[in-house]
């Protein structure tokens, strides 16, 4: 299938933009995520899987056979930092990372949503030609009262999100970093590149999702954006952390990829269930995304793997609901209303107790 958009070039060659992700039991959502990011211009995908029960690893093997991505197994042993950190250490050494022009670590519930130009990476790079790192601030999309899991695109099902300016919780304005692979950082990280190289990192230019220059804190350690101003002028990161209530029960059972000792429960749900405003901006890439998805689903083996994963999720939910703790969690999901914004003064009071500097000062 020919490219759906003109790709950015580097010295008369195709610019290589690599997405790196870790996955477990995500087969039902994988093809939409891959289709979207292929449509907007990511050229390479490095995916590390571990302990899959729903066929994710088999689907990744098939996608690798078809030339859509590279699949590595990360079955352990895992470092104390967790499965994701172990995966990133493996990825650090891989040619798709070492030879990329730009890098970004993503989760399967995160979708890069570009507002510049024709909504592709080429348009974003054209809008920010001097950037070495671009911070894509999360926009959290809540559950919006959806109870039953169904096999429909996440980007179409969940359209209510957090407001553009958020005061609390600070996790609501975390970002992921799209950065130029120019030797300023030695290691991949969850939200930003790590292990800065002295003498090089100081020369990197960091810009936010609205194209504003960020100060030196971002070159080394900052992981959240300013909370007193919008950060989505040119690009945002649509984050769908909850899904349907049934899906959340499965997510809670699976656990976190980077903090295996910290459960996913009502605290996670309450801080991320934002349904304040309607945001349909990702529909701007709907046609190319659907074209890519149709191509993927035209492979009979992939289509069968996808449908089997959908059936697995439905059956797994029924199994989990035999446990009283899961029934109690499901009941609390039904009882709990969406999050609501809190006044700036109340948010600042929390920050003052923690002695966290105002993000607006960064």
Contact present, 296 and 33 (Cβ < 8 Å): no
Backbone angles phi, psi at 60, to 5 degrees: -65, -40
Q: Is 114 helix (H, G, I), strand (E, B) or coil?
A: strand
Burial of 199 (0-12, 13-18, 19+ CB in 10 A): exposed
With beta carbons less than 8 A apart as the criterion, state whether 105 and 90 touch: no
Asked if 37 and 55 touch (Cβ cutoff 8 Å), the reply is no
Hey, CA dihedral for 170, 176, 182, 187, is it positive or negative? positive
Residue 34: closest CA among 67, 74, 5, 8: 67
Closest by CA position to 162, among listed 153, 173, 147: 173
254 by Cβ neighbours in 10 Å (0-12 / 13-18 / 19+) ranks as middle
Task: Decide: 183 and 98 in contact? Cβ < 8 Å.
Answer: no
Give the separation between CA 335 and CA 329, rounded to whole angstroms. 10
pLDDT in tens, the chain (362 residues): 333 444 565 555 689 999 999 999 999 999 999 999 999 999 999 999 999 999 999 999 999 999 999 999 998 888 877 889 999 999 999 999 999 999 999 999 999 999 999 999 999 999 999 999 999 999 999 999 999 999 999 999 999 999 999 889 988 999 999 999 999 999 999 999 999 999 999 999 999 999 999 999 999 999 999 888 999 999 999 999 999 999 999 999 988 665 555 789 999 999 999 999 999 999 999 999 999 999 999 999 999 999 999 999 999 999 999 999 999 999 999 999 999 999 989 988 988 887 654 444 33
């Amino acid at each position: 299938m020919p490219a759906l958009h003109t790709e950015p070039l580097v010295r008369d060659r195709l610019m290589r933009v690599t997405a790196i992700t870790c996955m477990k039991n995500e087969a039902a959502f994988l093809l939409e995520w891959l289709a979207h990011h292929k449509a907007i211009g990511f050229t390479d995908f490095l995916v590390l899987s571990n302990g899959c029960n729903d066929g994710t690893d088999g689907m990744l093997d098939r996608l690798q056979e078809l030339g859509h991505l590279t699949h590595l197994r990360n079955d352990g042993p895992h470092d104390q930092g967790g499965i994701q950190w172990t995966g990133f250490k493996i990825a650090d050494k891989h040619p798709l990372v070492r030879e990329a022009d730009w890098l970004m670590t993503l989760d399967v519930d995160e979708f890069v949503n570009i507002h510049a130009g024709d909504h592709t990476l080429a348009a974003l790079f054209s809008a920010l030609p001097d950037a070495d790192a671009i911070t894509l601030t999360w926009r959290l999309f809540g559950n919006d009262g959806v109870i039953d899991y169904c096999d429909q695109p996440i980007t179409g099902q969940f359209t209510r999100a957090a407001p553009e300016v958020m005061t609390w919780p600070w996790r609501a304005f975390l970002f992921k970093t799209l950065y130029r692979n120019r030797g300023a950082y030695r290691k991949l990280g969850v939200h930003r590149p790590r292990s800065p190289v002295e003498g090089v990192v100081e020369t990197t230019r960091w810009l936010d999702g609205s194209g504003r220059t960020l100060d030196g804190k971002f070159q080394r350690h900052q992981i959240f954006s300013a909370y007193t101003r919008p950060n989505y002028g040119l690009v945002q990161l649509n984050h769908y952390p909850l899904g349907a209530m049934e899906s959340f029960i499965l997510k809670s059972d699976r656990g976190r990829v980077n903090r295996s000792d910290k459960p996913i429960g009502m605290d996670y749900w309450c801080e991320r269930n934002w349904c304040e405003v309607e945001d349909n901006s990702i529909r701007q890439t709907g046609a190319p995304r659907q074209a890519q998805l149709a191509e993927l689903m035209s492979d009979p083996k992939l289509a069968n793997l996808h449908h089997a994963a959908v059936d697995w999720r439905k059956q797994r939910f029924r199994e989990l609901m035999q446990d009283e703790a899961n029934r109690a969690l499901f009941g609390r999901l039904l009882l709990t209303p969406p999050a609501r914004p809190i006044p700036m003064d109340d948010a600042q009071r929390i920050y003052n107790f923690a002695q966290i500097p105002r993000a607006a000062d960064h």
